[in-house]
Every structure is written in structure tokens, then in C-alpha cells.
Amino acid sequence: MSEFISSSEKETKEIAENLGKNLKAGDVVLIYGALGSGKTIFVKGLARGLGIDENLVSSPTFTIMNIYSGENLLFHLDLYRIEHEEELNALGIEDFLDMGILAVEWGEKAEDAPWANNSIKVFIDQTPDDKRKIRIEP
Ligand SMILES: Nc1ncnc2c1ncn2[C@@H]1O[C@H](COP(=O)(O)OP(=O)(O)O)[C@@H](O)[C@H]1O
Ligand SMILES: [Mg+2]
């Protein structure tokens, strides 16, 4: 477990970049945090750490999943609008997960999925002074 305090978007990206450098295909990162806490910013940092242009990363709120490629493939899920487990199952994640790294915004909605076993969890909390407390497990 590691814990960080981030005072800026830039710092959050750096924390995520360091995590990204240690990820490999098949890894799943579940990201928890309220709207505006910095989940998408965190994914931008992950992309950077994976050798992917962070400018490709945008919130896939209307598409459910985006796929970015560079030195690695990054699958980016945003489950904000997912209401039923079947919608998640329909994506067939296990069929392609081996090919890249999966980052999931609103990770709590994926916890029951078989492919979320052994995932890395990132909790982002906004502090009263508008910083972010970032906890990474394990
Ligand atoms: N320390 C910080 N880390 C991440 N984002 C921050 C931080 N401080 C302010 N922000 C701002 O918070 C917003 C986070 O947006 P976003 O990543 O889209 O949130 P989410 O995906 O969780 O809804 C951005 O506008 C970003 O500039
Ligand atoms: Mg987002």
C-alpha cells in the first residue's frame, strides 16, 4: 500500500506515471473517487508511464471504453453510466485483456467481474483544501 498527497494535476499524473511504468499486459487498475476527483487525470498519467500519448486520453463516458495504443495498449473504461452487470459482461473484457492494460473509472462497479480479481486499486479523495489523497493497493 502506498499513499500520496497530490497538490496539482501535474503531481497526480506523475504518481500515476510511476505506477504505469510497472504495469504489464493483463493488469487491471480499478480507480475509485467522486466526480472531479481526478480519475481521468490519473489515467493520463498511466498512459504516459505506458509509453502512450496522454493527449489521446479522454473520458469515455459516452462510449464506455476507449482504446489507446503506443508502446502498450491501454483499455480505458468509464462505468459511471453502467447500471446492470450484463452491460459490463457484454464487453467481453476477458477476451482481449491479455493484449493490454485495463484502467477502470468507477472501479466499484467492476468489483464483481471475474477479470477484476487481483486488480490494483487506486482511491482518490479530495481534501478540504482541494488537494488529492491517493492511496494505491496493494
Ligand atoms: N491534485 C489534483 N489531481 C488531479 N486533478 C486535479 C488536482 N487538483 C485539481 N484537479 C482538477 O480536478 C479535475 C479532475 O478531473 P477528472 O480527472 O476529469 O475527474 P474525474 O475523472 O474523477 O471525474 C481536473 O479539472 C483537474 O485539473
Ligand atoms: Mg473521468
- Provide the domain limits for residue 120: 2-137
Total domain count for the chain? 1
User: Closest residue (by CA) to atom 14 of ligand 1?
Assistant: 38
Q: Is the pLDDT of residue 2 over 80?
A: yes
User: Closest residue (by CA) to atom 10 of ligand 1?
Assistant: 9
In DSSP terms, which residues pair with 67 in a beta bridge? Answer: 75
CA distances from 55 to 17, 41, 44, 111, 134 (A): 14, 11, 7, 28, 22
In DSSP terms, which residues pair with 32 in a beta bridge? Answer: 123
The residue to which cell 478540504 is assigned: 128
Q: Is the pLDDT of residue 10 over 90?
A: yes
pTM value is 0.96
Please tell me the number of Cα atoms within 13 Å of 50 on its side-chain side: 29
C-beta of 35 in contact with ligand 1 (< 6 A): yes
Rg of the chain, C-alpha, whole Å: 14
pLDDT at 110: 95
Q: Decide: 116 and 27 in contact? Cβ < 8 Å.
A: no
Task: Return the ligand number nearest the Cα of 41.
Answer: 1
User: Residues with beta carbon < 5 A to ion ligand 2?
Assistant: 39-40, 59, 105
User: Closest residue (by CA) to atom 8 of ligand 1?
Assistant: 8
CA pair distance 132, 6, nearest whole angstrom: 5
* Other CB atoms within 10 Å distance of the CB of residue 101: 25
Can you read off the three cell numbers belonging to residue 120? 490494483
**Which CATH number fits the domain that encloses residue 38?**
3.40.50.300
Task: Return the ligand number nearest the Cα of 81.
Answer: 2
Q: What is the pLDDT of residues 93-138, one digit of tens each?
A: 999 999 999 999 999 999 999 999 999 999 999 999 999 999 999 9
Can you read off the three cell numbers belonging to residue 44? 493520463
